[in-house]
Amino acid sequence: MATILTKEEAKRIIDKVLSYAKADETSVNLSGGRTGNIRYARNSVSTSGESTNLSLGVTSVFGKRSGTATINEFDDASLEKTVRRAEEIAKLAPENPEYMPALGPQTYLSTDPYSESTAKMTPDFRAQATFESLDPCRKKNLTAAGYMEDSTRFNAIGNSKGLSAYNRETSVEFSITVRTADGLGSGYATQDVTDVSKLSTKNMTEVAMQKAMASANARALEPGKYTVILEPAALVSNVDASLLVAMVRSMDARNADEGRSFLSKKGGGTRLGEKLFDERVTIYSDPTNPEVPNGAFSGDGRPQEKVTWIEKGVVKNMPYSRYWAEKKGVHATPPGGNFIMEGGTQSLADLIKGTEKGILVTRLWYIRPVDPQTLLYTGLTRDGTFYIENGQIKFPVKNFRFNESPVIMLNNLEAMGKPVRIGGNLVPPLKIRDFTFTSLSDAV
Amino acid sequence: MQRRDFIQLSGLGIGGLLTASIPVLGNAVSPEYLLEASGRGIGIDTATKKRLSDIALNAAKSKGATYTDVRIGRYLQQFVFTREMKVQNIANAESFGVGIRVIANGTWGFSATSDVTPDGIARCAATAVAIAKANSRLQTEPVQLAPQKGVGEVTWKTPIKKNAFEIPVKEKIDLLMKVNSEAMKNGAAFMTSNLFFVNEQKYFASTDGSYIDQDVHRIWPTFTVSVVDRAAGKFKTRDAISSPMGMGYEYLDGLESEKIKAPNGLVGYRNSYDMVEDAILAAKQAKEKLTAKSVQPGKYDLVLDPNHLGLTIHESVGHPTELDRVLGYEANYAGTSFATLDKWKTKTFNYGSKLVNIVADKTQPHTLGTVGYDDEGVPCKEWNLIKDGILVNYQAIRDQAAILGEKESNGCCYADNWDSVQFQRMPNVSLQPGTEKRSVFDMIKGVDKGIYIIGRGSYSIDQQRYNFQFGGQLFYEIKNGEIVGMLDDVAYQSNTQEFWNSCAQLCDKDDYRTFGSFFDGKGQPSQVSAVSHGSATTRFNGVNVINTGRKI
């Protein structure tokens, strides 16, 4: 059986499952896909593999008791058995006082997060893309370590109240770290795409190579407050916590209402409607954006639409669970699938040119929350940190540890560049004043 | 193969776990099914596993493999999530399948399948060989595998007293409801609590002539207490100071004999945890945190509790002595290491002061890293990483032993599931206690200006493991040999070598206990592993402390 089903194939199976159901409410989730990866280090491939899956989950509900069972066999008997098992588990489950009845039919936007060229990727294609990254490094006596992972998947949901939704999407993530043979220089680049024909492992590798060579023999600067240019990879990471993602994910309304969020108000309530950031800060989600397309529904079936979280520095919306929204009598806005931060028209080079004194940061690493009250985070610069003077990169500098809050950072905004795709989001490079570096690191 | 499911943490609030999500491997099943599966009433018997393994070994060989290993695994998980007086989620999961790793043309190849039939396994073996051959064109030097004599047909089992999967779910929920209600009674505004149970049933076979059947159990109870002062617009949390363990449900017995008394009514838990008692203490201490004095930054002598120091050991000794990091295999993700081979070769590299003796082991009872054999069939052992302050060895697997001039692997190979390829993972890495008789009370008496730190807080370290910053759960100011009150906004920053060389005094074996990390991440695609770190309370002199308080 194919593991990527069409909308019609998926609906047929879901309808069949629902026809067996005897519970008060039944919801079905059918998902499948294929993922491939190739990893290399020390200029050789270290691992690579491919895997496929297709699985179906049934959630049955009696009153406020719910149970879930899953299966990866699709004959009629297996499907019916799974429904019965979910019903048995539900009857034994404790009552969930926060249970929300299943949603009825919904209207969804039309989005297109799927690319045929990504769906057709083969092991040979991955090996060739890797060769194009390894070969230039070997020729320059540089050491490459990289990783590429591609995924093609679908997700279909349906329930006994008539809700039905289907999404099919693809993605490829590529990252490369190039180090000099003496271990004194290191450079990084990353790109993620929906359509693999837009990915160039060669171009990304060249950026990482340049940064590796330029970063050797870094000089130590005193820790302190600096003007920094944070590249998009320093603001959003695929593999770590990151300043902007951490902030966007900390906007949950319930936590704020309960008094344990940076959006909680002294004396009670939330900071919705308050201006918390520089007036140039606008962040929204939009599943239809062609550069960062996303599925049109959230996991629980709620429609994903364009939602503005922060507009001109003012907190405009907060995500709610359906339970909390009902309790508060407000619209249940789900968390966004992507986010887009508005920026300017300048390139990274323009931002550097316009900087009298500052530090260019390629990437931040090992980012961890220090204080959830203020969203204070710590972490370090990595793989390409440079001193800028009079609009030019002067020399590489040793890596710094930072202690900074994205809330403070977005108040100290100097300039914004043109947004680029990173981790499925659109984010501009940012020039920030008074960014707090608290110590030096010898790490290369 | 199954793709991983991840339970997103947002809203669930897992104590002590700051990553974005926790992995749930495989398919949802019922608690009754888990009970049967953990008693091994489900699935295939050892003789069948041997027969299926031989099919893989032969199929790979016929396609041109020069080495093959097979892992047939059943991985069971039960995770319970509660908040206040509500059960939020109970995840019961099972994952079953086979992973086959081969060397062909001097190159590794790996493939895995959930189709555990003779045909499925043969096809999977052929795919593994095909991948090895395809990638061999990008290979520069052939894999060199340290020899390992076959161990024949053997078994190993975590010595548990109570199989957690046999304990009714109701009993677990009742415990968490008691924990939550006691915390609320004592001042918690919000409370989340969790139980994690893991059972790995692993069958390993290789062309060396090993057929190894292992049954591994792990447990982690934890919680987070939150208190809120709405008028002041402040909130504080305190996580459990439990440790994940390689034990059964008996860890939750809360035996008095396993409690270690410490100043200010603090309690350390050795191999038995009193979750209700810890929750009550946590609620009271969290409230105290709301009005605790903000720390004056500067140099302090630090007295570090084992439940805190374990993470510092993990990050600043465990990771940098992983040989794959030293060699550059993790350069694009976790990073490399300052503990380079040239430093090791001098045999004089002062990683720490003379008091610092750090052992690696996969044999210590009750710990997360302890098994009989690693995931490439190497019997487990104990060895020195740092001896009298000097870096003497690394953590290695079979294809790395030759680089160290060693004739055998020290058994550090692990995969988190049958569909993940095994690679070098951390064994238990522990600081040996002092030999002089000394309690934490004795230690504090000798400190003029210091901070006593308990629990796992914020942690961050660079990609070569030089510069780190650690927070904690509880901070107490020490003045002239006495604790004078609680501090807040504390984090210390140091350099690994400087820090370990400032190690000035150790408590003795009676204070020794383990800390653990249940979901340690490494590799691309990322895999988790569980590992313990033992120590006694230890003093470090003149460490730089910063104030992390901010206004937004």
Query: Is the pLDDT assigned to residue B19 strictly greater than 60?
Result: no
C-alpha–C-alpha distance, residues B346 and B339, integer Å: 12
Helix locations, A162-285, DSSP H: 201-214, 232-235, 243-249, 253-257
Q: How confident is residue B1, by pLDDT bands cut at 50, 70 and 90?
A: very low
B460 and A401 within 8 Å at the Cβ level: the answer is yes
Q: Which residue of B has its CA nearest to A379?
A: B460
CA distances A129 to A201, A339, B192, B523, Å, are 6, 29, 46, 20
Q: Is A52 helix (H, G, I), strand (E, B) or coil?
A: strand
Chain B contact set for A366 (CB, 8 A): 460-463
C-alpha–C-alpha distance, residues B458 and B452, integer Å: 16
Query: Is the pLDDT assigned to residue A265 strictly greater than 80?
Result: yes
CB of B469 within 8 Å of a chain A CB? The answer is: yes
Percent of chain A at pLDDT exceeding 70: 100
At B362 the pLDDT is: 98
pLDDT tens string B496-526: 999 999 999 999 999 999 999 999 989 998 8
User: Is residue A105 within 8 Å of residue A162, measured between CB atoms?
Assistant: yes
pLDDT tens string A334-377: 999 999 999 999 999 999 999 999 999 999 999 999 999 999 99
Chain B contact set for A440 (CB, 8 A): 467
pLDDT (average), residues A103-113: 97
Chain B contact set for A153 (CB, 8 A): 3
A149 and B140 within 8 Å at the Cβ level: the answer is no
Residue ranges of the domains in chain A? 7-207, 217-243+343-440, 249-338
CB of B421 within 8 Å of a chain A CB? The answer is: yes
> Which stretch of DSSP H or E encloses residue B297?
none
At B9 the pLDDT is: 40
Chain B contact set for A438 (CB, 8 A): 469, 493, 546
At B65 the pLDDT is: 98
CB of B463 within 8 Å of a chain A CB? The answer is: yes
Helix axes B275-290, B169-185, angle to 10 degrees: 30
pLDDT tens string A7-63: 999 999 999 999 999 999 999 999 988 888 999 999 998 888 877 778 889 999 999
Determine which of A402-416, B4-18, B140-154, B297-311 has the lowest per-residue pLDDT on average.
B4-18
C-alpha–C-alpha distance, residues B408 and B429, integer Å: 19
pLDDT (average), residues B422-451: 98
Rounded to a whole number, what is the distance in Å from the CA of A78 to chain B's nearest CA? Answer: 14
At B3 the pLDDT is: 36
Q: How confident is residue B32, by pLDDT bands cut at 50, 70 and 90?
A: confident
Single-letter code of the amino acid located at A336: G
Chain B contact set for A374 (CB, 8 A): 549-552
What superfamily would CATH give domain A7-207? PmbA/TldD superfamily (3.30.2290.10)
B328 and A405 within 8 Å at the Cβ level: the answer is no
A72 and B30 within 8 Å at the Cβ level: the answer is no
Q: How confident is residue B22, by pLDDT bands cut at 50, 70 and 90?
A: low
The phi, psi pair for A70, rounded to 5°, reads -125, 160
CB of B491 within 8 Å of a chain A CB? The answer is: yes
Token pair for B61: 């060989």
Chain B contact set for A262 (CB, 8 A): 552
Q: In the 3-class helix/strand/coil scheme, how is B244-291 assigned residue by residue?
A: CECCCHHHHHCCHHHEEECHHHCEEECCCCCHHHHHHHHHHHHHHHHC
User: Is residue B55 within 8 Å of residue B122, measured between CB atoms?
Assistant: yes
C-alpha–C-alpha distance, residues B518 and B509, integer Å: 24
In terms of Cα–Cα distance, which of A176, A172, A212 is closest to A193? Answer: A172
- Taken in order of first residue, the domains within chain B and their CATH numbers are 23-290 (3.30.2290.10), 293-547 (no CATH)
pLDDT tens string B385-405: 999 999 999 999 999 998 888
Chain A contact set for B226 (CB, 8 A): 260
Average pLDDT along chain B: 93
Q: Which of A321, A370, A399, A405 to mutate to test the interface with B (most CBs of B within 10 A)?
A: A370
Q: Is A308 helix (H, G, I), strand (E, B) or coil?
A: strand
Token pair for B149: 């004599």
Chain B contact set for A127 (CB, 8 A): 134-135, 137-138
Which residue reads 């946590």 in tokens? B282
At A244 the pLDDT is: 96
Q: Among A33, A131, A367, whose Cβ lies nearest the Cβ of B138?
A: A131
Determine which of A180-184, A189-193, A238-242, A317-321 has the lowest per-residue pLDDT on average.
A238-242
Which residue reads 């995924």 in tokens? A151
The phi, psi pair for B365, rounded to 5°, reads -60, 150
Q: How confident is residue B8, by pLDDT bands cut at 50, 70 and 90?
A: very low
pLDDT (average), residues B242-263: 98
At A93 the pLDDT is: 82
Helix locations, B306-348, DSSP H: 306-313, 323-327, 341-345
User: Is residue B100 within 8 Å of residue B130, measured between CB atoms?
Assistant: no
Query: Is the pLDDT assigned to residue B11 strictly greater than 60?
Result: no
Determine which of A89-98, B345-354, B535-544 has the lowest per-residue pLDDT on average.
A89-98
B331 and A179 within 8 Å at the Cβ level: the answer is yes
Token pair for B471: 């927070």
B138 and A70 within 8 Å at the Cβ level: the answer is no
At B403 the pLDDT is: 84
User: Does A70 or A27 have the greater pLDDT score?
Assistant: A27
At B21 the pLDDT is: 56
CB of B141 within 8 Å of a chain A CB? The answer is: yes
CA distances B386 to A27, B321, B339, B352, B355, Å, are 56, 10, 11, 8, 10
Question: CB neighbours of A278 closer than 8 A, spacing ≥ 6?
Answer: A313, A410, A411, A412, A413
Q: How confident is residue B241, by pLDDT bands cut at 50, 70 and 90?
A: very high
Q: Which of B85, B100, B110, B138 to mutate to test the interface with A (most CBs of A within 10 A)?
A: B138
At A1 the pLDDT is: 61
Q: How confident is residue A96, by pLDDT bands cut at 50, 70 and 90?
A: confident
Query: Is the pLDDT assigned to residue B263 strictly greater than 60?
Result: yes
Q: Which of A231-245, B45-59, B84-98 has the highest mean pLDDT?
A: B45-59
Give B9-50 as a DSSP string: -TTT--TT--SSEEEE-SEE--HHHHHHHHTT-SS--HHHHH
Q: Among A33, A48, A241, whose Cβ lies nearest the Cβ of B131?
A: A48
At A64 the pLDDT is: 93
Token pair for B145: 């595998």
Q: Which residue of A has its CA nearest to B546?
A: A438
pLDDT (average), residues B209-215: 98
